[in-house]
Structure 1
């Protein structure tokens, strides 16, 4: 398959420059990042979080990595943006080290994905009044994807869509859900996702009415509804696609609900324009369900959860397509369209594709499903 673009140092330095401009405008002394996806976003450094703090402090002039001393040699070998590395020993406090790097009385914005124990340690070294939520500063940048980010997500979505096609052909009577999950993982790897499936839900029959799947093994039998929801990571960015279908001729009730689901999905797409609120998209989906005698609100049979979520370095991130979210859509936002319909103890239908907002409006990453037995366009 074709290569996908990498996020360049130039792009990350642009992100840092924009962050610094915001810090200056708001008179904030710096932003402290933990071992989170935001650390990767700004610095390129990937690190698994543990009880030992590792992160980075971005100030108006410096990028300083904070690391356990015994991990110093490893950090030095990893790909990252240039910056000084300051180490702390086992008996020392990483929070005290962070405090020592700030001017007196400076305000510190804190990564909102930082664990509570790390935040509490900061409170012990820096007056709580000087600590502010860094989440809004981070999310203001991360929710607007660059052309390179969109291209990577597109690559990942294309890959997972092909995996869905192969899985559809693989499912036969007597096959177990775990066999299908293993097959999907193998196909993700074969097509170029080094970590295989980042997640995978395979449900048959009435288990499809459970949005995130059922516990225990399931075996496909003729006449079952099939729901497959899976994705992978490419260059750190997620794909996430769901298809629901019947392999045999659909029952009239399944075909009816499937058509309503598809209409609701299209209604969200048509409501998505620059300046529209996220909540208005959720309402567009629910209006379709109510017109067809489902719902209202979160009542079942109907839509039990939000109509979509943002995607990027995290599989669920802003913007959230949910009631009462008054945030306006802007160019560069990427999010799912998945107004699932649940018929309790019978079946569920979730059709999930993602869109990105161009300056001219919404664009599908993947073409939606064709019909109740035709899960691909």
Structure 2
């Protein structure tokens, strides 16, 4: 099994990056995708600043990671030598950079010339606090992005006892959860490529294959089409009843259920699609459960209406299964997890379709609808497609599977 989330290696510079689009005829034609522009990143920073003021916070501190890339375009490995970005409530974003990395950093930094460097014997957290003071910020709430590592949080706390360090969720989540047309276009391209990769994986199936054989084929197609391969989880037979796979050996034979959960990254944005088929001839029970899964997924889509709480998607999908005798709740046989998760730069983001999430669905939200039916000791069926919310309601990134015999339209 290939791990779902790997360190991505796409460039953060603004240029037209080559890609390839493959049709079912296997014809390969060159294409391009438009990366996120510098102007859009500056608009994101402006939105963050307005949210800082609204929430009575003075600045947002970002560790190297997805949120730093989201706001600045800088993709940086989070080593023990901290690279930090500081978005003040007013004024220009600044970076705190290891001095010996300054030249390398300057090659990818296109968002701000405000860079302070620290030598190996110096304290980057004290430098960050001094930066805030130089900006006229001497006290108040400093937001820290949720994935910031503890040693950075602790270092800031010790260096700046007059500040109150608080969660940056009220800033980063509203920014990242609502996708722009440019973000949705990148996600659409990633989904289009993943559709072709899954088609190739299914077409390659032969008796005696292992999950890793199929995963390798999918990864090859992702890369050949210009995407960054993210993951290809392939389960066979009884292992399909484990939502994220089994550690036991799996060898493909006639009549096996095969589940393929696959994603790639284009321009920093993710896809996530699952198809479940039968290798050979499906039996009556497999067809019945597959059809029920399709009905459950459709119910979740129908419930995804603007202004309605996210939990309604989960409730609608789960009700179909419970009415058919599965569950209730997370009990097996049935649906053992939430119906969907948010998606964007990370494969799993905020905006989960889960009981208790009262957040209303808004234009620009993107999420999966994937109500697994797991039957322990037998098999599992999962159909997963992601949607994005528009003024007219939800739209699919990938069209749902028509039937157990036809995984794609």
- Structures share fold, TM-score greater than 0.5: yes
Structure 1 stretches of 4+ moved >6 Å: none
Aligned to 2:218: 184
Superposed displacement of residue 217, structure 1: 3.8
- Kindly provide the CA deviation profile for residues 39-86 of structure 1, in whole angstroms up to 9, marking residues without a partner as x: 011111000111221120011102111111111111011143123111
Mapping of residues 287-306 of structure 1, within 5 Å: 287-306=319-338
Mapping of residues 1-377 of structure 1, within 5 Å: 1=21, 2-59=31-88, 60-102=90-132, 103-127=137-161, 130-193=164-227, 195=228, 197-377=229-409
Q: Distance in 2 between matches of 1:24 and 1:206?
A: 53
SS of the aligned residue for 1:3 comes to strand
Q: Distance in 1 between matches of 2:304 and 2:158?
A: 45
Asked if structure 1 preserves the Cα contact closer than 8 Å seen for 2:157 and 2:163, the reply is: no
Superposed displacement of residue 216, structure 1: 4.7
Superposed displacement of residue 128, structure 1: 7.7
SS of the aligned residue for 1:301 comes to coil
SS of the aligned residue for 2:139 comes to coil
Asked if structure 1 preserves the Cα contact closer than 8 Å seen for 2:295 and 2:320, the reply is: yes
Superposed displacement of residue 148, structure 1: 0.5
Superposed displacement of residue 282, structure 1: 0.6
TM-score (norm 2): 0.90
Give the stretch that moved more between structures: 153-162 or 118-127. 118-127
Superposed displacement of residue 27, structure 1: 3.1
| Corresponding pairs, count | 375
How large is the Cα RMSD of the aligned pairs? 1.2
SS of the aligned residue for 2:51 comes to helix
5+ unaligned residues in a row in structure 2: which ranges? 1-20, 22-30
- Kindly provide the CA deviation profile for residues 262-319 of structure 1, in whole angstroms up to 9, marking residues without a partner as x: 1110001000010011111111011001110000000000000000001111110010
Q: Distance in 1 between matches of 2:113 and 2:60?
A: 15
- Kindly provide the CA deviation profile for residues 167-188 of structure 1, in whole angstroms up to 9, marking residues without a partner as x: 1110011112111111111111
Asked if structure 2 preserves the Cα contact closer than 8 Å seen for 1:342 and 1:349, the reply is: yes
Q: Distance in 2 between matches of 1:295 and 1:127?
A: 51
Q: Distance in 2 between matches of 1:216 and 1:284?
A: 34
Q: Distance in 1 between matches of 2:264 and 2:146?
A: 25
Superposed displacement of residue 26, structure 1: 3.0
Asked if structure 2 preserves the Cα contact closer than 8 Å seen for 1:311 and 1:317, the reply is: yes
Q: Distance in 1 between matches of 2:269 and 2:321?
A: 32
TM-score (norm 1): 0.97
Superposed displacement of residue 372, structure 1: 1.4
